[in-house]
A and B are shown apart, each in its own frame.
Chain A
């Protein structure tokens, strides 16, 4: 069991700065996900924690010791790779035994044939085999122990990779996109298994993914990284409902948030929301609406904005309605229940409503405007609490 503390981690590959002084505290037993678009540096950060990559600046502490000078094997971490990285020539049993063999047996004892003669080898081998079997039983892969990775399905390989990580009871689990090579259905069920595994083991998990659904469902906290910087670190619900940055809002949620230039909505904002201040205030300001926070009403309803239905997508439990409104490039997507509201057909003219409290306002640099500095937002907040 161990907490992890990163202090000002920086890393460059040649001229490219992939990590820009990242500081982060991961609590003991926490499930923390590093999420972000590809190339944001999340895998590099994980590899630095593992010790597979050396940082240019900053330091890593695992538990109560600085591990900067330690090789991966001395850091008490285990890692699951995207490709699983199982040794293709070894059986599942031998694959899972490698971490124990390397730790418990000396160089002489590991030698083929000769090793058998060294004192204690047989006993050690037996205890390793017992430990491997115990983990295999727990993961339900015991029947596969004699097979080689090439004879396993993707899900089975994934489980073996987790088993190899578990077998020596590390203080920290590092997982680098462990589910991304699986098909969609398997990914969902393995996701649940990883969550259960974390609950059972109670150790610290650091999980890298580019899949926001994995990040949202698995984590205690999500760390969203963009361009080598930590943009926001928060529990999944906070990340979704209360993003600090327009990029966070855009990355989290499916279908993604509707982002509209405030200038395109100026009249509506003035009439419906009583947006205070002059139009100059709206320059560069972006307003975000989550698809489920918009509602469709009849044309001409007070405080609504007129629109035209472009497309209706039926997804069974949900219905996504794409609506064009004046002066915006892309349609807004509204998520409704299939039986809610009026009958919707492409081409129909309808209107949209939104509660002021559901509007997420971002300034020109993409930062979230909560109260200050824009007085316009103050009005928004004031009205929503009224």
Chain B
């Protein structure tokens, strides 16, 4: 008997190189498939974002041939700018009131619609319509409703003996009115999210709750519905908050930030600085602040949604 020493065969090496070739081919395919998307993302989103950061460090004015780098000077100005802070506080107040109200009402409407089987599609459509409407057009309709003399709202109030209010020209009412329009517009969206969320709750859980004794409307809500809607509610809060931060169209159409600067908000300030005063560098600095808020909210969403409850 002879002992054959172990040797790597030629076939073995050939197999290795065949696998290597296949790997290269797979990589090429991946680049070809993902490449165009990455390129577009780069051109349309990442480059402009970098440009905004760069412009924010200059004193460039829109259309100007020359500019110089000023470092963080724009942010320093921003910090000292009372108008910017006024706009910022307006925005924060708007967001902190409108978002919970929108999401809360959306939840209530969704629960009411789910509770009764009749006219479900009708109620769903009615509440969702405002979200589908073009905001600029809807804003004009709101303007006529809110008109101080011929507006429907004041006419109704007058019949109850209430004094006329110039809703959009009174600095005490302008923000609440804009907030109400925002809620009207976005309620349907929150409602739709919750309706979808309610559908994902297994009916077995309600049965189990009923056998366990949680069969009243409130205890059922507390035991099953609300906890299981938690992740959806988080998502709705973040998305509605993003929409509230970027409120622009109703301000532009209805108030132009007025009266005075009573209804000026972050995105409108950004627009005015960049495109009306043409202080593009300064506007870019506002953009950076805005961008940081949006990124913060998005990270919050990713972070919290990652830890969401797993449904079995």
Could you tell me which A residues sit within 8 Å of B by CB distance?
47, 50-52, 71-73, 77-79, 81-90, 98-99, 102-103, 107, 110, 148-150, 157, 164
Contact = CB atoms under 8 A, between A and B. Distances in A.
Interface stretch (B83-91, B148-156, B212-220): B212-220
Given A98-B223, A102-B219, A110-B219, A88 B211 contact: no
B205 interface: yes
Contacts of B210: 51-52, 71-73
Q: Contact size class for B? A: 20 to 34
A149 B209 CA distance: 16
B13 interface: no
A50 B230 CA distance: 29
Most chain A beta-carbon neighbours within 10 Å: one of B208, B219, B309, B310:
B208
B230 A85 contact: no
Interface of B: 202, 204-205, 207-215, 218-219, 222-224, 227-228, 230, 309-312
Judged by DSSP, the binding face of A is: mixed
A95 to B, nearest CB: 9
A73 B310 CA distance: 28
A88 B204 contact: no
26 contacts: A52-B207, A71-B210, A72-B215, A73-B211, A73-B212, A79-B207, A79-B208, A79-B211, A81-B208, A82-B204, A83-B312, A84-B312, A85-B202, A85-B207, A86-B208, A86-B312, A87-B209, A87-B224, A87-B227, A88-B228, A98-B209, A98-B212, A98-B214, A110-B222, A150-B312, A164-B208
Nearest to A181: B312
Given A81-B204, A83-B202, A102-B219, A164 B212 contact: yes
Contacts of B211: 50, 52, 72-73, 77-79, 99
B309 A103 contact: no
Contacts of A82: 204
A88 B311 contact: yes
Nearest to A97: B212
Contacts of B310: 88, 148, 150
Given A88-B228, A98-B209, 14 more contacts: A73-B210, A73-B213, A81-B204, A81-B207, A83-B202, A85-B207, A88-B309, A88-B311, A89-B309, A98-B212, A98-B214, A102-B219, A148-B310, A164-B208
Contacts of B214: 98, 102
A50 B228 CA distance: 24
Most chain B beta-carbon neighbours within 10 Å: one of A78, A102, A110:
A102
A86 B309 CA distance: 13
Contacts of A85: 202, 204-205, 207-208
A21 B205 CA distance: 29
B29 to A, nearest CB: 36
A358 to B, nearest CB: 44
